[in-house]
Amino acid sequence: MQVNILAGGPQQVYPEDIFKQTKNWIGVDRGSLFLLHHHIIPCMAIGDFDSMSQSELVEIKGKVSQIIQVNPIKDDTDTELALSKAFTRFDADEVTIYGATGGRLDHFLSNFLMLLKPQFKQYAQKIRIVDRQNSLLFFNPGKHILRRQPNYKYLSFIALGNVEDLTLPDEKYKLNEQSDIYPVAYISNEFISEQATLSFSTGMVAAIYSRDYVK
């Protein structure tokens, strides 16, 4: 099952075709309201809902059948709670997260780094974070094939700490058995054919398909 999560990030960085998908949505906090305003009823709304007015919360409660309202004082972020439900409640095979970038930098870093947490690491390769310019994928150790995607010029790799033997054998800029104790960003690489290979033996690596700004 493909599950889509919409967090509350700024709408100007949403992909242009985001609301063509009408099923299997989880709304996170204000993301639930954005979905309703585009005539999409999420299968679940989750969050502390502290970013919206009482009338907006009443609108969500009147239209969404499954609502999980949590205390603002909590250990997990709203997006983390939604991601957990995607796998434990809906048994997702793939999760795409929108509205997790742009706006507040602390929110983006929280969303980007949450895949390192033990409860999510096992699901890392089933998760994408997507916005208007970027598509982020996450990989656990092993050999992985990445395929060229239309409209994305660049392919960057983020070694998220304690990565060993990072090898990029068939990208434009090659890397051979590179090991990094600390996080390192290898950016602005490119495909030279229809696919590229990534391999490493420990840690986690994020791959970012990206393109320059599109209005």
Domain membership of residue 42 as a residue range: 1-132
Same domain for 115 and 170, yes or no, is no
Q: Does one domain contain both 95 and 164?
A: no
Residues 115 and 151 both lie in one domain: no
CATH (domain of 212): 3.40.50.10240
Do 20 and 105 share a structural domain?
yes
Backbone angles phi, psi at 174, to 5 degrees: -90, 160
Give per-residue pLDDT as tens, 140-188.
999 999 999 999 999 999 999 999 999 999 999 999 999 999 999 999 9
Instruction: Look at strands 25-28 and 94-98 and give their pairing.
Output: unpaired
Do 1 and 82 sit in the same domain of this protein? yes
Domain boundary among 132, 156, 177: 132
Domain finish residue from 101, 132, 163 = 132
Domain count of the fold of the chain: 2
Q: State the pLDDT at residue 15.
A: 93
Record the tokens describing residue 211, joined without a space.
């393109």
Residue 213 pLDDT greater than 90, yes or no: no
- Residue 87 and residue 76 share a domain: yes
